[in-house]
Amino acid sequence: FWLKFCPLGSNLPISPGAMRVTAALATAVVGELHACSLLITGFEGPLEKYNGNWRYAGEGRDTEGHLRRMYTFDNQVLLRYNANSTTPGWQITRPSVSGTFHEDLLASCSTTACKDSDDLSTLPPQQPWQAEGSNAVMGLHVGCCPAKANKCSKCNDSDCARLSVAACAASQIVGCCQPFGYADAGRCGCKDQNAVCEPYRPSEVTI
């Protein structure tokens, strides 16, 4: 799992916001439009294993006030915007091998297009991403992943909120409402409305 080329000197202290990323993965905030997960290709060398689907993992405001989305490859390797870096931009990080409260930087993009993107599904193609710890620059292709239809994509939270506890539990089995909303909002809520990526098959990807 660990990439050997990333030097320990590149450890990044994790901010309190980043330390809460696990919770964000479990309770992703959905924006005005259902966010898409990403298909990213173009990783090379030690990072080649990260070609594939990156799941939408929530959103939050950075220190500049921008509402930015974040993504995860496997719930540990994260792709999110870092406004506090010496070169602000989108960064790919993983838990550090040297300490629980640090992260290792794997790659980053600080071009104007990257800085202007709050949602990487709209990032122009072939933006240069710098692989940390080497001189390699990768031209990544980023876009929404080919997705399976989600029968609950048009679920309305207000309709779920009208259900009793028993009806909400029943809907979890056959419908689109689920009782986990009680923990967050004190009422029944919709199941995940975001589309699920089709399995990544490199031979079928055309750029």
The tens place of each residue's pLDDT in the chain, 207 residues long, gives 222 222 223 334 434 333 333 333 333 333 344 578 999 999 999 999 999 999 998 888 888 888 999 999 998 899 999 998 888 999 999 998 776 678 899 999 999 999 999 999 989 988 999 999 888 899 999 999 998 888 888 898 899 999 999 999 998 888 999 988 676 678 899 988 777 899 998 876 544
Token pair of 168 as six digits = 């909400």
* pTM score above 0.75: no
DSSP the chain: ---TTS-GGGEEEPPHHHHTHHHHHHSPPP-SSPPPPEEEE---GGGGGG-EEEEEEEEEE-TTS-EEEEEESSSSSEEEEETTSSS-EEEEEEE-SS-TTEEEEEEEE-SHHHHT-SSGGGPPTTEEEEETTSS-EEEEEEEEPPEE--TTTT--HHHHHTS-HHHHHHHHHHSSEETTHHHHHSS-EE---SPEEPPP-GGG---
